[in-house]
Amino acid sequence: MRTGTPAYIGLGSNLGDREAHLRRAVEALAATPGVQVVGKGRVIETAPVGPPGQGPYLNSAVAVHTTLDPRSLRDKCHQIEAELGRDRSGPRWGPRTIDLDLLLYADAVIATEELTVPHPQLAERRFVLEPLADIAADVVHPGLGRTIGELYAARLAEDAAEGGLDALGERLRAKLDCVKVRIQELGSVAVAYSGGTDSTFLAYLAHEVLGERMLAVMAASALQPGFEAAVAQELARRYGWRYEVLRFRPLDVDEIRANPPKRCYHCKRGLFARLYEVARTHGLDHVADGANADDVADFRPGDRAAAEAGVARPLRDCDLSKAEVRALSRALGLATADRPASACLASRVPYGTPLTEELLARIDAAEQAVRELGVKQVRVRAEGRTARLEVAPGRIGPLATRLRGEVVRAVQAAGFAHVALDLAGYRTGSLNEGLSETDRTG
């Protein structure tokens, strides 16, 4: 059982056996009374920051739950550094066997001569944000009001805007090449396309690699937000893709309309069957979708339907995260690089509440009304006659104060009696939070 306060620690090494130093540092943290290591980010190799002549770093991050206060945890990190041979007598940002930095300590903001939390360079350093985003993507930076995932995406976007693909580094360019290879191996493909960031990126690369052997297929149904179809068609015309609209009626299926926890499985199963019919009609061998590496973190029964149908998933196969897809999209000049994530409207309705076209249209109208007030990312969770709004943490304040009256009027005009603002902020799959293990696996 996890106890204590959540905190995040960055690790780096560029002397000696770097992998061993990182491993031993994590082991030492885990062996510390009052510290429980609960997550580990990826290990990446990066160029050094500081005096010239240094070797490259290996960087990572860990999540801990701790009963230590921030200063005691920082002191323990310094003790571990000393035990692993860290010499602090050299130049600032010089080479070191191990470096342990306290990045975040819950929502604490500390600014003293001896300790600053959050770490003052956290938002500026991609080599910190990248592994941290693996384990803390939805954690809000208490000083900036933005999630770690948003900060990482912004850092990547700035790099891409300044230097294009070259600025994104060898590892990310290798992932891009990997996706192209996977697409080439397919030979021909129908891409499940919505006009969102992931599917547009996949369709763009598939068209680049396969040309006319790629067809972008948009499934139009009551489950899709109303603005998506027009946006998707405009993008397809702009990029010169073959494009087709598939009319899909999921609410005709009892297992979907009843809205059980496995609703997405039944919906995706039917959708993929229809997509394969379209693919065969056009002489295409495969169907692919834009699932990315981040999507594995949530409860997604549609993944089972994709696996059963044999749907190709090049972005996930090549370990591309959402932030990386956005960065590559920006470097390629795609209009969808910064498009807010969208999702099936049924994901706004608590499991067990039957889905109707009227309810979904009410949710769609409420979200569109809030977007028109300048709130790009919003989810309206329909809980009876109440609309529970989820927005990015940095937008909670304006909605609760300056925009409160306009938001209430707009959402009530869409058909809701009451309007609530979720102080936890926007997060994907929030209606999955109460699911039992039986619901998830049964």
Give the position of tokens 């059980």: 260
**Residue at 336 is within a domain:** no
Give the CATH number for residue 384.
3.30.70
Contact yes or no for 70/110 (Cβ under 8 A): yes
Residue 436 has pLDDT above 70, yes or no: no
Residue 439 has pLDDT above 60, yes or no: no
Contact yes or no for 357/251 (Cβ under 8 A): yes
- Per-residue tokens: 389: 């709004």
Question: Residues 96-103: what's their mean pLDDT?
Answer: 93
Where does a domain end: 275, 300, 331?
A: 331
Where does a domain end: 272, 305, 331?
A: 331
How many C-beta atoms surround the C-beta of residue 308 within 10 A? 12
The per-residue pLDDT for 213 is 97
Please tell me whether residues 210 and 326 are part of one structural domain: yes
Q: How confident is the model at residue 247 (pLDDT cuts 50, 70, 90)?
A: very high
Which residues, including other chains, have CB under 8 Å from residue 307's CB and lie 6 or more apart? none
The per-residue pLDDT for 262 is 92
Amino acid type, 147:
T
**Residue at 59 is within a domain:** yes
Please tell me whether residues 66 and 191 are part of one structural domain: no
Q: Which domain holds residue 271?
A: 171-331
**Residue at 155 is within a domain:** no
**Nearest alpha carbon to residue 328 among 178, 173, 193, 192:** 173
Give the position of tokens 């297929």: 217
Q: Record the pTM.
A: 0.75
**Residue at 67 is within a domain:** yes
The per-residue pLDDT for 12 is 94
Give the CATH number for residue 114.
3.30.70.560
The per-residue pLDDT for 440 is 54
Q: How confident is the model at residue 214 (pLDDT cuts 50, 70, 90)?
A: very high
Sheet architecture: strand order including 214-220? 242-247, 214-220, 189-192, 286-288
Residue 428 has pLDDT above 80, yes or no: no
For CA atoms 339, 344, 350, 353, give the dihedral sign: positive
Backbone phi, psi, residue 264, to 5°: -65, -35
Please tell me whether residues 319 and 235 are part of one structural domain: yes
Please tell me whether residues 218 and 114 are part of one structural domain: no
**Nearest alpha carbon to residue 423 among 385, 395, 404, 386:** 395
Amino acid type, 320:
L
The per-residue pLDDT for 2 is 61
**Residue at 337 is within a domain:** no
- Catalytically active residues are 86, 96, 99, 101
Where does a domain end: 304, 331, 358?
A: 331
Question: Residues 302-319: what's their mean pLDDT?
Answer: 95
Question: Residues 66-78: what's their mean pLDDT?
Answer: 95
Please tell me whether residues 289 and 380 are part of one structural domain: no
Contact yes or no for 379/350 (Cβ under 8 A): no
Domain count, the chain: 3
**Residue at 150 is within a domain:** no
Q: How confident is the model at residue 358 (pLDDT cuts 50, 70, 90)?
A: very high
Residue 387 has pLDDT above 70, yes or no: yes
Question: Residues 372-393: what's their mean pLDDT?
Answer: 92
Give the position of tokens 């990310």: 172
Please tell me whether residues 219 and 247 are part of one structural domain: yes
**Residue at 138 is within a domain:** no
**Residue at 222 is within a domain:** yes
The C-alpha atoms of residue 382 and residue 389 are separated, in whole angstroms, by: 9
Question: Residues 388-399: what's their mean pLDDT?
Answer: 87
- Per-residue tokens: 1: 């059982």
The per-residue pLDDT for 298 is 59
Please tell me whether residues 324 and 191 are part of one structural domain: yes
The C-alpha atoms of residue 198 and residue 357 are separated, in whole angstroms, by: 26
Q: Which of 3-7, 242-246, 336-340, 437-441 has the highest mean pLDDT?
A: 242-246
E strand or H helix at 241: none
Q: Of 95 and 413, which is predicted with more confidence?
A: 413
Please tell me whether residues 191 and 322 are part of one structural domain: yes
CB-count burial class (<10 Å; 0-12, 13-18, 19+) for 165 = middle
Please tell me whether residues 257 and 355 are part of one structural domain: no
Residue 202 has pLDDT above 90, yes or no: yes
Please tell me whether residues 310 and 388 are part of one structural domain: no
Please tell me whether residues 313 and 371 are part of one structural domain: no
Q: Of 133 and 316, which is predicted with more confidence?
A: 316
Q: Tell me the pLDDT tens digit for each residue of 132-159.
A: 988 888 788 888 888 888 888 888 878 7
- DSSP letter at 55 equals P
Residue 432 has pLDDT above 70, yes or no: no
Q: Tell me the pLDDT tens digit for each residue of 29-48.
A: 999 999 999 999 989 998 88
Q: Tell me the pLDDT tens digit for each residue of 250-274.
A: 999 999 999 999 999 999 999 999 9
Please tell me whether residues 178 and 320 are part of one structural domain: yes
What letters, b where the CB count within 10 A reaches 16 and e where it falls short, cover 258-296? ebbbbbbbbbbbbbbeebbebbeeeebebbbbbbbbbbe
